[in-house]
Structure 1
Amino acid sequence: MKDFVFIFRQPSYDYSNSSAEEMAAINKKWNDWIGGIAAQGKFKNHGARLEVAGKVLKPGGVVTDGPFVEIRERLGGFIVVTADSLEEATTLAHGCPALDADGSVEIRPIFA
């Protein structure tokens, strides 16, 4: 078994206008999807949900406000799973709620 990180990229939109019910439904989708991976014994680490604000340091010491300021997506967070292959890890990524919001899941083996 090998460890893989799922990196979630989503459009940069404002959740502050979402109702409590809408946020509960979104959280349930995420919990159900991750729970399905855990039920298979493939869930390794919850990783972290990232805040929207931040800084980007570029070559030459140039600092910009906020990650991905030049594009319309943001890195939302990540989890770590375990799988026998990149193909199996990719199969586990199917059903990720980020995909429902026009986002993507980057699947990367962890170098060991």
Structure 2
Amino acid sequence: MKPINIIGSIVGIALTILSINSLKPSSDLAFAVFAVWSCSPFILTFVLSITHKNIIGVTVAIYLSLLVGLLLFLEITYWHQDPQGGIAILMLPFVLFAVIMGSTSLIKEKNT
């Protein structure tokens, strides 16, 4: 367990909640459901940072998912606005889950 992993996961959760708030959901229930779904990849990285043995893979997963999530969010909401942007935002956690699973399985620690 590295403190930098836990901090990265908490930053991801905070930035996700702020980004969902910037979309101005129509109700508090919509905000809560959408925020929990969008934060779920970072909740997973928080749990992985505590329980997983591959610390380097988890670190790469956290910061790569932060970068990919930020770039895709900016692309969808600000750079190329589209009426179907809400659907793309709903699919963003699937992309982040793929990034997390890929990086934790592909990056191995060296045992020297």
Q: Is TM-score (shorter-chain normalized) higher than 0.5?
A: no
Is the radius of gyration larger for structure 1 or structure 2? Answer: 1
Q: TM-score, normalised by structure 1?
A: 0.33
Tell me the TM-score normalized by structure 2: 0.33
Larger helix fraction of residues = 2
Structure of greater relative contact order (alpha carbons < 8 Å, 6+ residues apart): 1
